[in-house]
Amino acid sequence: MIDKALLSLPGMKKILLISIVIALMDALLIVGQALLLASSLTAIWYGGALIDQVPVLIALVICFTTRQVIANIRSKQLDAYSAHLADSYRSRLLQQAFNQGPSLLQKQGTGNFTTLLLEGVDQIEGYIRLTVPKLTALFVVPIILLITIFAFDWISGLVGLVVFPAIILEMILIGHTAKIEAGKQHSEYQRLSNHFIDSLRGLDTLNYFGQDKEHSNRIFIASEKFRKATMRTLRVAILSGAVLDAFSTISVAAIAVLLGFRLVDGSITLFPALFVLILAPDYFRPIREFASDYHASLEGKNALASLQAILNQYDESSTAGMPALPAVQTLSFNQVNYSYDSYQALSDISFDARAGEHIGIVGPSGSGKSTLTHLIAGLAQPSEGTITLNDTPVSTLQNQSWQKQVVYLPQNPYIFHASLRDNLTFYQPDAAEEDIQRVIKLMELDELIAELPEGMDTLIGEGERTISGGQAQRIALGRTMLNKDCHVLIFDEPTAHLDIETEYELKSKMLPLMKDKLVFFATHRLHWLANMDRILVLGNHSISDEGTLDYLSHNSTEFRRLIQELG
């Protein structure tokens, strides 16, 4: 019933202490309200004047108002805490995605990870806001009220003492079933999320090969599994809620009936009977509220378990505390392997590079070009082999000091939901205005800025002002030019989706950017190879040959065959 993961959250002990104190104050105010109301009604019943009860009614209003005030204080504390925790979790998840790179998304599933980052963290936030006040009230309020009831009527207290553990036991049994069903629903939701993202990515390919209708059936099957899991969870939640409500109602009714019989035979007077009767619903209220919100919070509980499993598996300590890596002078890979699950993506990768050198990476699709660029960029960690930086062995390039001096440009550079200025100055937020204007002129972004309604302050990306692929590449290159810490440029087929005219236009902007930088350029476009000092040829997930363009053209059969295939 109590989630241990919730109790282990940072800062939770303080929040629980505040919530316990507020729950204790709430319980005492409930007792005060019952005393005031019972005494007032008793006095009126025995012929007292209504005007004499005005001070009592004022005190009753004060008690009620105070309860609302402390409830608001608790709510604000929980809102602030849960929002801060949600921001922290999002930052940690994004940091892990940046540290671990594609390997994390491959293992967790892009859809599952994205859903957890966007919706899952919100569910955790709601889980904390729902569970903490209900949990503390469940353990504090009934105890105070039960002691008070015993003090006024031991028979009613005995009924409450016997019934309450029975309700708790029933809730545990039902909660166990609900937890199982909710876990199944969460698993189906993760599967459906991954399926949805993969379907969107491969929609054009499926349509091209005539598999779109068949794939739509698979989507329907996955959706149906999630629907059935959801309905099973709702069925358990609705039935359990009805059972617990009925049990609590019958218990209050039993106390009321016993009090009624004893009032008739004179074994109890009106005031204690009325006082106990007023307290009885509040005695069972915390468990009813906890039970009703328990099912609503299960999604957040499962999301928290999934999130903590990721963070525990990819502990931030894996990158924290690493020694700062110096600016690159030489970089060597020696028999480096990389695999995920049982798939060997790269095998026995060995090469040397030095500052200012331009190295091309070519190979057929699926040969491992992107994986190699991920290793060099520090977005993935080798399974085996050694890496040497400036004659010093390093276990991995997944190091923040290395990543800060590297700029990685993929096929589709990411445009943030921000202004054009913020997108350009992403790596260098304090860039001088003259430097920004120089980059705009070099990247020929003047025409784009003139079209934007608010100029450089216009929001772009993610549903805002759309831009073309060529404009996105220019913005990404502009970021790179403003990055003063950049020593290594890594291009992973950055012009693959551009038409040849746009590509040649961008090429004239990119070549000056590469000057004095260590460059790794993975490409299928052969005209780039003439601008490379050396070329690594990948085949069968390893480097099959390397050398200058002239050397490979005359001495490498595999390179010539690759040239023919690429046309």
Please give the pLDDT value at position 503: 80
Contact 212, 206 (CB under 8 A): yes
Is pLDDT above 80 for 180?
Answer: no
Is pLDDT above 70 for 205?
Answer: no
Please give the pLDDT value at position 495: 76
Q: What is the mean pLDDT of residues 170-180?
A: 66
Q: How confident is the model at residue 534 (pLDDT cuts 50, 70, 90)?
A: very high
Phi-psi region at 341: left, alpha or beta (left = phi > 0; alpha = psi -120 to 50)? left
Please give the pLDDT value at position 3: 67
Q: Are strands 488-492 and 518-522 parallel, antiparallel or unpaired?
A: parallel
Please give the pLDDT value at position 148: 92
Q: What is the mean pLDDT of residues 328-338?
A: 93
Fold of 330-418+467-566: Rossmann fold (3.40.50)
The domain spans of the chain are: 4-317, 330-418+467-566
Closest CA to 403 of 492, 472, 340, 322: 322
The H-or-E segment that residue 474 falls in is helix 469-482
Contact 63, 32 (CB under 8 A): yes
Q: What is the mean pLDDT of residues 494-498?
A: 73
Residue 543 has phi, psi (to 5 degrees) of: -80, 110
The H-or-E segment that residue 214 falls in is helix 212-265
Is pLDDT above 70 for 71?
Answer: yes
Closest CA to 340 of 538, 541, 106: 106
The tokens of 520 are what? 């790794």
Q: Hey, which CATH number is domain 4-317, 1.20.1560.10, 1.10.3720.10, 3.90.600.10, 3.40.190.10? A: 1.20.1560.10
Q: How confident is the model at residue 433 (pLDDT cuts 50, 70, 90)?
A: very high
Average pLDDT, the chain: 83
Is pLDDT above 70 for 316?
Answer: no
Residue-wise pLDDT for 131-155, tens only, equals 888 888 888 999 999 999 999 989 9
Q: Is the dihedral of CA 170, 176, 179, 185 positive or negative?
A: negative
Q: Is the dihedral of CA 106, 493, 520, 372 positive or negative?
A: positive
Reported for 347-353, long-range contacts at CB under 8 A and 24+ positions apart, including other chains, are 347/540, 347/541, 347/542, 348/385, 348/542, 348/543, 349/375, 349/385, 349/542, 349/543, 350/543, 351/536, 351/543, 351/546, 353/518, 353/520
Please give the pLDDT value at position 346: 92
Q: What is the mean pLDDT of residues 458-473?
A: 82
Please give the pLDDT value at position 344: 85
Residue 545 or residue 207, greater confidence: 545
Buried b (16+ CB within 10 A) or exposed e, 298-326: bbbbbbbebbeebeeebeeeebeebeebe
DSSP single-letter state for residue 322: P
Residue 179 has phi, psi (to 5 degrees) of: -65, -40
Please give the pLDDT value at position 372: 93
What distance lies between CA 203 and its chain's CA centroid? Answer: 26
Beta bridge partners of 358: 519
Question: Is the whole-model pTM more than 0.75?
Answer: no
